[in-house]
Structure 1
């Protein structure tokens, strides 16, 4: 039996999975590493922690599995997007990495918008948001010019780790699309954007496909990890692109809903000229010449966690959700908006905050819990409606993440989205997507689609209840009004927040 390894470089930990030729995860391991917040709104990590964690996780994966390293055909990566790693001519990181959830760059975002105007959406297909890489580069340019002067290249997190494992510099298109420096349609670094901010194109690494081989393991890395120097290493992709692969989002109209801390709606796209004016993200896929549309709810599962920790800290999640199945659609006239940390899609608004509307003395904890679940799902439907407005018919949605672990929530998604919800037999997310890239790159399958057919199996399907769907259509109209009705109030409340 031969294997591939998927490495998922997350924000809090790196996860490695050993996958066989039937798509079964034979073994897995994860290693945590710290997150640094040296100032309010800053979020950084030491790139060396990623490398150490990855090597420890690979070694323990091989030790626990007892697999002969000669049986491992290849390794590929999934990685947290947007994080800025600047390296000098010797490949040394020049400063801590600035992460995707770092929000220090608001002024740089406004500079990008003022400088490029409509060209930004025409070229990069995405708005200037604090999470992206270009604003981070401009922050370093303005505040640490001596660091930028020493920089030979900028890399994203997984690309830095892969460089340390192979000695090869590269970046795949799916991750490059999240930098705001890529011409997404032409799959080239944008001279227009780089020159507008005095950034030399030499800072940008060479671009490759996600399934392209980018070297083999360096001798010292092979020794430390328990693998061979002949082990092939493939470029990998952005975490959301790999999550899409791991859920089988590999065909026109295929759509995924992931409810984790944040929530993501992601839909496959082949039209490179599609421009949704920044209402949702538009990125390159891990599959060649394919793209994906993505909407984000910032506080999806986090809204439920916040609610439990604040109002039911003595209960487990299972206990909290015990009574929600008995609550009718609409939660007895109680409506929740999950804007507790601001919002991303379709309202990129850092000031908006959440609301409970319609509270009365008859509402119980189960009503409130049910309303939170509905509000999160309504927010995700807003992204689905944007995709539908682009001309797509969404009739099936693959559900992954925490929202796929509760039957009431799965049926709620079917009713609110008015689409069949598919739960997978085994869900490994981005780590499995990374393994699929290694499997395809290693020649196991003729296409990523064939790989998905072999690796991914459906477990259950939840279909919309017509009566429930009709109720939710009316409630969704009310939900959409809450943002406009409360926006000005929240803007005025900003000065009172500590």
Structure 2
């Protein structure tokens, strides 16, 4: 039997999956690491902890593996997008990584528009200037930490740094590079126009490869620490959302998926890089060669539910917290929630907006609040779907993954709010499975990613929308959409009090 490993570098933990040629997950190990949040809006991590925990997870996986390690043929990666890792000329980390959910760079985003203009930025990068992206972070370091910036020899994205430490070679690949605001997405090259406009040495940008490209093998040091063979092939991998798309079979026109993790994503396959969504949704290179995807993001999806649990129901499990929400009527007895705990991305590119509960009265119980949080997260994701549909896409079937795919009531809520058939897969490990599939394809187990997906992905069940629920939710959705406009000014005026 032959095996591959998918390494999924998330925001809170790294997860490693061992999969065989039948697409079965044979082993799974997860190791967590902390966030560094020194100020409001700051979110950082120590890149060397990613490496340490990845090596620990691989060692634990191998220690439980009862076959020759030579049968583990390849390893690839999925990773959190947009994070900035700066290396000096000795390839050492200069400062903690600034993460995707860091919002300190509002002024740098405005400077990007002032310097290059929104139209030219969208023409090159296909995406607006948002705080989460990598270029604003680089400009922030350049302005506020010039000593660190001047030491920098290259920048890497999070999973690319882990891969470098495991295999010894520095690269990025197109699906992650597309989230930097420095890639010419359609032409698949670092943009000289962007680099010159912001006086960034193009040598800072790492060489680009395809997601399924073999970039080397494990170093002898890593092989010794993990127990893996030094001959294990290492493949470039992809951004978490690109790998999530691969892992759920979003590899052809008309396919869409919704992933509810820390952030929430609605993603749809595109076969061309020349469509124009006017920056309303993200437009990135896929992990599949010469393919693309459009994507809307809710920053505080599962994060909102986790926050609510930790603050108001710390001693409950998530299963207990969700129990009974099916008995709460649509609209949570007149209670609405907006999931803007960390600002918002789609459709409101607003780092200052914050979450709200609207309509609280003394009759509301804990379960009503949980139902409102779940509905609010789903309404926010629906705003991305509405943008896709307004641009002519027909979306009547959506594959779901992540935390939102684990609760029957939430699945029905998705079907009703999205007004689409929700498809649940037998495996909910989208990004990690996608990384493993890139390794399997790279090892030439299958002639294409699509052929690999036929083996690795299996539909478990379908949930149909209930017409009367759809109608009720469409009424409630109109009220939900009003909340942003009516709280925006208040939240911006409150910003000074959050420092």
Asked if 1 retains the 8 angstrom alpha-carbon contact of 2:15 and 2:28, the reply is yes
Structure 1 residue 236 displacement after superposition: 0.4
Structure 1 residue 310 displacement after superposition: 4.1
Asked if 1 retains the 8 angstrom alpha-carbon contact of 2:106 and 2:351, the reply is no
CA deviation string 1:249-268 (max 9, x = no partner): 11212111112222111111
* Structure 1, unpaired ranges of 5+: none
Aligned-partner Cα distance in 2 for 1:149–1:306 = 38
State how 1:51-70 maps to structure 2 within 5 Å: 51-70=51-70
Distance 1:319 1:210, change over 3 A: same
Asked if 1 retains the 8 angstrom alpha-carbon contact of 2:103 and 2:351, the reply is no
- Does residue 212 (structure 1) correspond to residue 213 (structure 2)? The answer is yes
Instruction: Specify the alignment match of 1:479 in structure 2.
Output: 480
Instruction: Specify the alignment match of 1:264 in structure 2.
Output: 265
Partner SS, residue 114 of structure 2:
helix
Distance 1:325 1:289, change over 3 A: same
Instruction: Specify the alignment match of 1:461 in structure 2.
Output: 462
Structure 1 residue 165 displacement after superposition: 2.0
Partner SS, residue 136 of structure 1:
helix
| Bigger Cα displacement from structure 2, 299-308 vs 458-467 | 299-308
CA deviation string 1:44-78 (max 9, x = no partner): 33322222222222222111112311101111111
Structure 1 residue 39 displacement after superposition: 4.3
Aligned-partner Cα distance in 1 for 2:472–2:43 = 42
CA deviation string 1:262-288 (max 9, x = no partner): 211111111211121221111111001
Aligned-partner Cα distance in 2 for 1:41–1:373 = 24
| Bigger Cα displacement from structure 2, 209-218 vs 161-170 | 161-170
Asked if 1 retains the 8 angstrom alpha-carbon contact of 2:131 and 2:351, the reply is no
Number of aligned positions between the proteins = 498
Instruction: Specify the alignment match of 1:293 in structure 2.
Output: 294
Distance 1:136 1:310, change over 3 A: closer
Structure 1 residue 450 displacement after superposition: 1.1
Distance 1:487 1:181, change over 3 A: same
- Does residue 14 (structure 1) correspond to residue 14 (structure 2)? The answer is yes
Instruction: Specify the alignment match of 1:111 in structure 2.
Output: 111
TM-score normalised by L of structure 2:
0.95
Structure 1 residue 40 displacement after superposition: 4.3
- Does residue 145 (structure 1) correspond to residue 146 (structure 2)? The answer is yes
Aligned-partner Cα distance in 2 for 1:90–1:495 = 40
CA deviation string 1:149-191 (max 9, x = no partner): 3322211121122122222221110000011100011111100
Instruction: Specify the alignment match of 1:195 in structure 2.
Output: 196
Aligned-partner Cα distance in 1 for 2:211–2:309 = 39
- Does residue 86 (structure 1) correspond to residue 103 (structure 2)? The answer is no
Structure 1 residue 218 displacement after superposition: 2.0
Asked if 1 retains the 8 angstrom alpha-carbon contact of 2:44 and 2:102, the reply is yes
Distance 1:222 1:485, change over 3 A: same
State how 1:140-289 maps to structure 2 within 5 Å: 140-289=141-290
Instruction: Specify the alignment match of 1:71 in structure 2.
Output: 71
Aligned-partner Cα distance in 2 for 1:323–1:146 = 55
Partner SS, residue 64 of structure 2:
helix
TM-score normalised by L of structure 1:
0.95
Aligned-partner Cα distance in 2 for 1:341–1:46 = 21
Aligned-partner Cα distance in 1 for 2:201–2:496 = 40
RMSD over aligned Cα atoms: 1.9
Partner SS, residue 268 of structure 1:
strand
Aligned-partner Cα distance in 2 for 1:108–1:497 = 20
Instruction: Specify the alignment match of 1:100 in structure 2.
Output: 100
| Bigger Cα displacement from structure 2, 477-486 vs 365-374 | 365-374
Aligned-partner Cα distance in 2 for 1:76–1:283 = 20
- Does residue 332 (structure 1) correspond to residue 300 (structure 2)? The answer is no
Structure 1 residue 104 displacement after superposition: 2.5
CA deviation string 1:447-483 (max 9, x = no partner): 1111111011111110011111111122212221221
Aligned-partner Cα distance in 1 for 2:51–2:342 = 31
Aligned-partner Cα distance in 1 for 2:481–2:156 = 39
Structure 1 residue 314 displacement after superposition: 5.2
Structure 1 residue 299 displacement after superposition: 1.8
| Bigger Cα displacement from structure 2, 46-55 vs 199-208 | 46-55
| Bigger Cα displacement from structure 2, 37-46 vs 236-245 | 37-46
Structure 1 residue 38 displacement after superposition: 4.1
Distance 1:263 1:204, change over 3 A: same
Structure 1 residue 322 displacement after superposition: 2.7
Aligned-partner Cα distance in 1 for 2:198–2:91 = 24
Instruction: Specify the alignment match of 2:357 in structure 1.
Output: 356
Asked if 1 retains the 8 angstrom alpha-carbon contact of 2:112 and 2:129, the reply is yes
Distance 1:319 1:149, change over 3 A: closer
Aligned-partner Cα distance in 1 for 2:497–2:145 = 33
CA deviation string 1:342-401 (max 9, x = no partner): 221101122323333344455444333322221211111001111112211111111111
